[in-house]
Amino acid sequence: MGPSTAHTTASRAWLLAGAGWHWLLVLVTGASLITQTVLVIIGGIDVNSGAATATLPLGTRLVNLFSFFTIQSNILVLAGAIRLLIDPRLRGLGWQVLRLDGLLGIVITGLVYVTVLRPLMQPTGIHAFVNAGLHYLAPPLAFVGWLIFGPRPRISWRVLIVSLCWPISWIVYTLIRGAITGWYPYPFLDAGSLGWPIALRNIGVIVLIALVILMIMKAIDRLRIAAVPQSTPRP
């Protein structure tokens, strides 16, 4: 077996291992998102808030569900994993921003849940399954998958700056909708109960954490280049 043959074999094995990891991530996030959506439609518990939803109109339930940062982050991770299954070598600004936003969002989701929200939630049964998928499994699976399989480098300064559009838009949307409806997805953002100074302070802390995470990821992106086989870059 020559060097080129050995390299090709190793490349195929690497791609297969990465595909298996991404399939696992698709199954975890997809099953959790679908199950949670069905639970909300039938008026069950929303594991993001721990609240029963049966008293709300269906449209309001669904808008509330997809207003959670957790749900949006898992959707981005799911979309990214599916795209990686199609082509792990993909480049292009839109793809790179989606990938970075998914990673940033899911890391924040895991950190905030474990440090702030977990004491407030006591899911059981099917709700515990959904909660585990969204908050405990998806964050490490997504981040470790990126560490091991990449693809990297992909985080330029342009990608990093553009990736801030989604979380900033989510914050603005959440505060405006909360001020109008009185509903906030997370208690630490509830300006109606906490007052605007405390709510804005909490947002500032999370934004600072997000910036630190982005800087760490950018550093890792340059220091650890995942061994994904090279090909002609695609748009």
Mean pLDDT of 11-20: 83
Does the residue 111 lie in any domain? yes
Place of tokens 């793809």: 95
Which of the four pLDDT bands, split at 50, 70 and 90, describes residue 51?
low
Mean pLDDT of 1-18: 68
Does the residue 234 lie in any domain? no
Residue 67 CA to residue 82 CA, distance in Å, equals 22
Predicted structure pTM score: 0.88
| Number of domains the chain is built from | 1
Does the residue 228 lie in any domain? no
Cβ proximity of 57 and 79 under 8 Å: no
Higher pLDDT, 69 or 44: 69
Q: How many CA atoms lie within 13 A of 164 on its CB side?
A: 15
- Which helix (H) or strand (E) is 132 found in, with range? none
Q: What is the pLDDT of residues 55-104, one digit of tens each?
A: 788 899 999 999 999 999 999 999 999 999 998 777 889 999 999 999 99
Does the residue 212 lie in any domain? yes
Residue 31 CA to residue 204 CA, distance in Å, equals 33
User: Which residue range is the domain that position 103 belongs to?
Assistant: 3-223
Does the residue 208 lie in any domain? yes
Q: What is the pLDDT of residues 102-161, one digit of tens each?
A: 999 999 999 999 999 988 888 888 999 999 999 999 999 999 999 988 887 789 999 999
